[in-house]
Amino acid sequence: MSASPPPAPSASARSLLLTLLGEYVYPSNEPVWTQSLLQAFALVDIAEKAARQALARASAAGWIEGGKEGRQAWWSLSAGGKQLIGDGSRRVLGLFQNAEEWNGGWLLLHVTLPEARRADRLRLYRLLHWMGFGSPTPGLWICPHQDRAAAVARRLQELELEDDTLAFQARSLDIGIPQEALVQKAWDVSALAAHYLELESRFGSLRPRSAESHFQAHAQLVNAIQRLPAVDPGLPRALLPPDWVGTRVTTRLNELRQRWREPAHAFWKDLGVIAQGK
């Protein structure tokens, strides 16, 4: 039985805030007006109350820093926020590089936490799924990307789980279940393929015409791409089925992202001008 999570649910205010910050704020490194963010949230169907809560929580988490100019409030990315967005961008980029040769090495973790530490266990499982790990048997987590060891060590230290974890680098042997069966036990590849097909259907059918509709489509597409690490471990091509559907769909999604980018960013700039004039 696979330990992979189900396809990602609808976008939350938190994840859309990270999309707005990462796609439209991070590249320019300039502050953004609160009013601009609220208008952008409204265009992607996030209510003002949820949007303000997301901003407050992001500020409390240290991702953003705020200030005022007259009666207008603004936000800018903190050093921690920039690192969070940078880490996420690298993880997404890794999904598009699974065609590279795999050396056959695995990163293994064995973590056991009692039921009394269920909250810690859930945080750990979410983290490991996002970093590309799968669990073929209870307590054992495997990842075919040994270069993520340093990042895993850093996150385990942040969660204070170092004393509960055994970590190894290893290679498969021709003993026990074959590697193809191991992958199926650790990750639900069929569900992942269905998720990619749903994204292709959802975004491939869009035909934005106006600047506003380009922004709506682009922001939601970027958000869907940025959330892919929650469902896609980024397996090397050698571990995926032949003619893997994810390769074709990610190519299509990135084509749409580039096609919609210019009008979407132009609309975002207009939002800033409008907000500043209020």
Could you list the pLDDT tens digit for every one of the 278 residues in the chain? Answer: 344 344 444 578 999 999 999 999 998 888 899 999 999 999 999 999 999 999 999 999 999 999 988 788 899 999 999 998 988 888 888 777 655 678 889 999 998 877 778 888 888 888 898 889 999 998 899 999 998 899 889 888 888 888 888 999 998 888 888 888 999 999 999 999 999 999 999 999 999 999 999 999 999 999 999 999 888 998 998 899 988 999 999 999 999 999 999 999 999 999 876 555 55
The reply to whether 96 and 224 lie within a common domain is yes
User: Is the same domain home to 195 and 87?
Assistant: yes
The tally of domains found in the chain comes to: 2
Domain shared by 24 and 94, yes or no:
yes
Amino acid at site 42? A
Q: 131 and 49, same structural domain? A: no
- The residues, any chain, with a CB within 8 Å of residue 3's CB and separated by 6 or more, are 125, 134, 135, 136, 186, 187
Same domain, 44 and 69: yes
pLDDT at 8: 46
Locate tokens 């009666």: which residue?
71
* Pair 93, 195 in one domain: yes
CB-CB contact of 185 with 1 (8 Å): yes
Residue ranges making up the domain that contains 123? 105-171
Domain-embedded: residue 25: yes
* Edge-to-edge order in the sheet of strand 64-69: 32-33, 72-77, 64-69
> 5 in a domain, yes or no?
yes
Q: Same domain for 91 and 121?
A: no
Residue written as tokens 């210019």?
Answer: 262
Tell whether 176 is covered by a domain: no
Question: Does residue 178 belong to any structural domain of this protein?
Answer: no
Backbone angles phi, psi at 98, to 5 degrees: -75, 0
Which of 15-51 are b and which e, b meaning 16 or more Cβ less than 10 Å from the residue's Cβ?
bbbbbbbbbbbbeeeebbbbbbbbbbbebbebeeebb
Question: What pLDDT is recorded for position 100?
Answer: 62
d(CA 23, CA 221): 11
Residue 231 lies in a domain: yes
Quick one: 1 and 86 in the same domain?
Answer: yes
CATH number of the domain where residue 146 is located:
3.30.70
Which pLDDT does position 9 carry in this prediction? 47
Whole-number pLDDT of residue 175: 87
Q: Of 171, 202, 224, which one is at a domain's C-terminal end?
A: 171
Alpha carbon separation from 60 to 13, 33, 105, 198 (Å, rounded): 15, 18, 39, 35
- Same domain flag for 92 and 210: yes
- Give the per-residue pLDDT at 7: 41
Same domain, 96 and 134: no
User: Is 182 domain-assigned?
Assistant: no
Q: Which residues pair with 139 in a beta bridge?
A: none
Largest CA distance in the chain: 69
Residue 180 lies in a domain: no
The domain boundary residue, chosen from 147, 171, 195: 171
Question: Global pTM?
Answer: 0.84
pLDDT at site 97: 66
**Rounded CA separation 240/234 (Å):** 10
| The pLDDT of residue 6 | 40
Burial of 7 (0-12, 13-18, 19+ CB in 10 A): middle
Q: What is the pLDDT of residue 10?
A: 57
Residue 201 lies in a domain: yes
Residues 92 and 201 in one domain: yes
| 155 and 213 part of one domain | no
Please, which residues bridge with residue 74 across strands? 33, 67
Of the three residues 113, 137, 171, the one that is the final residue of a domain is 171
